[in-house]
Amino acid sequence: MKNLIWIVCVLLAFTAGYFVNHFSSETLSLDAQPQAPISAPKDATDNNSFVTSNTTALAPSTNTVESENDARAPTTDEIAQQLKALIGSNPMALTFSEMANFYSFVGELSEVQLLAVIQELSNTGVKENQSALMMLFSRYTEINAAAAIDFAKTEIGDERLQSAMLNISLISLAQQDPLASYDHFIRLTDAQQNIARASNMHLTGSLMPIFSSLAKQDLSLAIDKLYELNKLGHKLMLPMWGLTQNLKSKQEFVDLLTLTKSLDNHEIEEGIISNWTRHNPEEVGAWLLEDYDGERLEQLKDNFILTWASNDRENSGNWLIDNTAPDKVQRKVVNFLRSWAWDEPKAAMRWFSKQPNAIYNQKTFAEFINDAASSNPQFAMNYMSYLDSKKDQQRLSETIYQGLKRKSTQQAKDFLEQSPFKDEILEFDEYLKKSL
């Protein structure tokens, strides 16, 4: 399992390296001239063969090895050349098998060897060696995350690359010692208050795994640290997401809501309920109706439905209708249908048309079809005759025309020429142009 986790970390390292800066076609610039294959490196404390069966093609014959000095430790440059042979010119194009070969090679490097190669890569062109550097650094964080943090702080000058490496280090350390990872995060952010927004996002991104591991180890301590972050002015959504990662039962979610109540932070309350909704929406719905005793019931219901609708629009819509006051249900349904009409108008129409007349009527239908027309003008054109009001038909025609213009100039012209609201459409179009 640990090996599998590291392979995933390597894949993530590729992405991180690419995000910081597009790599050049030549990944390693350590030596322009390829060297002859060398014997597999050996750890000073390990006499076992370094390269697995996947990488034996890189090693010379046994006779050649015996003719040289026994167990000669490879130089940093020689290790780099073997890495170059494994990676090729484009690390992003590696197959899974080639990635496994690389993993087998790097997985046997000692901490000293890894650090030496990482140091060499960082000194000979960070941008050119970026992808390989991030891959090796991910492995180094697994061996010694605290030392990796110190290396990134002192040896990497590029701010965005440094923050990406610190993020990887903090996440790796969080799996081993979440409290130490949290303390490092606090020190890093205190020392780097003026860093760029993208770099700050890298560092802040480590808070979710830090708090996930911390909550698993000691929930009370994790809550204390959440309050500490709040006092220090940090945003709390990512640590909150971490706190909820391991929760399963209703009581666990309710307890977390109670423990964070004195933060007086609506985003935290809504975030916990949203994560609970993804786990068990029916349970959350029942809790809101039967057990919630706060003053924000309507707001929490709205957020609950919005979260549930992202996975199940029909059932969330049914719950909305069943648990909304009659004087508010029309407006709530119009709002609920807006994104559904934009994404899947046919499915939305099927659900909408099954509702009673108090909901499925001319007023709500006009709003629904107008919302659908923005992204699906052809669909909306089929329902023009469903509208009794000329004013609603004109409004819908104007929206359809704007939707068609974004898709096809000719289709928009054809629609305009046959529309009985041509003058009004052109007048509205001119108004929009002036308002831009």
For 30-72, write each residue's pLDDT tens digit: 333 333 332 333 343 443 333 333 333 333 344 444 444 445 6
Q: What is the pLDDT of residue 129?
A: 67
* Alpha-carbon gap, residue 55 to 347, rounded angstroms: 54
Query: What's the average model confidence in pLDDT over 18-32?
Result: 35
Neighbour count for residue 229 (Cβ, 10 Å): 21
Q: What is the pLDDT of residue 49?
A: 35
> Is pLDDT above 70 for 375?
yes
Q: What is the pLDDT of residue 189?
A: 86
Q: What is the pLDDT of residue 392?
A: 97
Q: What is the pLDDT of residue 328?
A: 94
Torsion of CA 8, 13, 19, 24, to 10 degrees: -120
* Alpha-carbon gap, residue 159 to 153, rounded angstroms: 10
Q: What is the pLDDT of residue 158?
A: 82
pLDDT band at 14 (very low <50, low <70, confident <90, very high): very low
Q: What is the pLDDT of residue 125?
A: 64
Q: What is the pLDDT of residue 62?
A: 41
Query: What's the average model confidence in pLDDT over 226-255?
Result: 94
Q: pTM for this one?
A: 0.74
Q: What is the pLDDT of residue 44?
A: 37
For 249-308, write each residue's pLDDT tens digit: 999 999 999 999 999 899 999 999 999 999 999 999 999 999 999 999 999 999 999 999
Q: What percent of the chain has pLDDT over 70?
A: 77
* Alpha-carbon gap, residue 236 to 224, rounded angstroms: 13
What sign for the dihedral angle of Cα 49, 84, 4, 219? positive
Q: Which two tokens stand for residue 224?
A: 């204390």
Measured in whole angstroms, the distance separating CA 167 from the mean position of its chain's CA atoms is 14
> Is pLDDT above 60 for 131?
yes
* Alpha-carbon gap, residue 374 to 46, rounded angstroms: 67
Query: What's the average model confidence in pLDDT over 191-220?
Result: 81
For 134-188, write each residue's pLDDT tens digit: 888 999 999 999 999 999 999 888 888 888 999 999 999 999 999 999 999 999 9
Q: What is the pLDDT of residue 10?
A: 47
Q: What percent of the chain has pLDDT over 90?
A: 60
> Of 38-52, 207-221, 337-351, where does mean pLDDT reach its minimum?
38-52
Q: What is the pLDDT of residue 202?
A: 77
Q: Which two tokens stand for residue 54?
A: 């996947």
Q: Report the mean per-residue pLDDT for the chain.
A: 82
Q: Which residue has the higher pLDDT, 192 or 390?
A: 390
* Alpha-carbon gap, residue 185 to 179, rounded angstroms: 10
Q: Name, in order, each residue with C-beta under 8 angstroms of 139's C-beta and a sequence gap of 6 or more.
A: 6, 9, 10, 106, 107, 109, 114
* Alpha-carbon gap, residue 405 to 414, rounded angstroms: 11
**3-state SS record for the chain:** CHHHHHHHHHHHHHHHHHHHCCCCCCCCCCCCCCCCCCCCCCCCCCCCCCCCHHHHHHCCCHHHHHHCCCCCCCCHHHHHHHHHHHHCCCHHHCCHHHHHHHHHHHCCCCHHHHHHHHHHHHHCCCCCCHHHHHHHHHHHHHHCHHHHHHHHHHHCCCHHHHHHHHHHHHHHHHHHCHHHHHHHHHHHHHHCCCCCHHHHHHHHCCHHHHHHHHHHHCHHHHHHHHHHHHHHCCCCHHHHHHHHCCCCCHHHHHHHHHHCHHHCCHHHHHHHHHHHHHHCHHHHHHHHHHCCCCCCHHHHHHHHHHHHHCCCHHHHHHHHHHCCCHHHHHHHHHHHHHHHHHHCHHHHHHHHHCCCCCCCCHHHHHHHHHHHHHHCHHHHHCCHHHCCCHHHHHHHHHHHHHHHHHHCHHHHHHHHHHCCCHHHHHHHHHHHHHHC
